Amino acid sequence: MVPYNKARRTGANEATKISFNKDVIINGKDLEAGAYILFSIPREDQWIMIFIKVADQWGHFNYDESKDALRIQSTSKSLQQYQDEFAITISEEGLNIAWGNLYTPLEVKS
């Protein structure tokens, strides 16, 4: 449903807003405390996850790469059970983004 190699808001109807009250390290890269929206560029074997500084942007139509606070690559993994609905879950290790047959883990450390 979503084309590969194209930036998309990560979420249904609206981009997902995520906030950190202190600086964090995501997949080994620094991200300052603050509010961001989450975009992604899905690929067959990995996703590029993008944390954007403009936390009130609705869709991906006016995406401006210069507003990126952080871009990271995350290897996609197969799910044992098909995920009908898009989901972001929080675990002790960080965030897991799942949809369809794949999930993408993001390691978050403070």
**Mean confidence (pLDDT) of the chain:** 84
Higher per-residue confidence, 11 vs 46 = 46
Q: Which two tokens stand for residue 58?
A: 């609705």
Q: Indicate the pLDDT class of residue 104, thresholds 50, 70 and 90.
A: confident
Phi, psi of 27 (to 5 degrees): 45, 40
pLDDT digits (tens, 9 = 90+) for 64-99: 888 999 999 988 888 888 877 778 888 888 988 887
DSSP state for residue 3 in the 8-state scheme: P
Q: Which two tokens stand for residue 25?
A: 């390290």
At 65 the three-state DSSP class reads helix
Query: Above pLDDT 90, what percent of the chain?
Result: 29
Query: Above pLDDT 70, what percent of the chain?
Result: 88
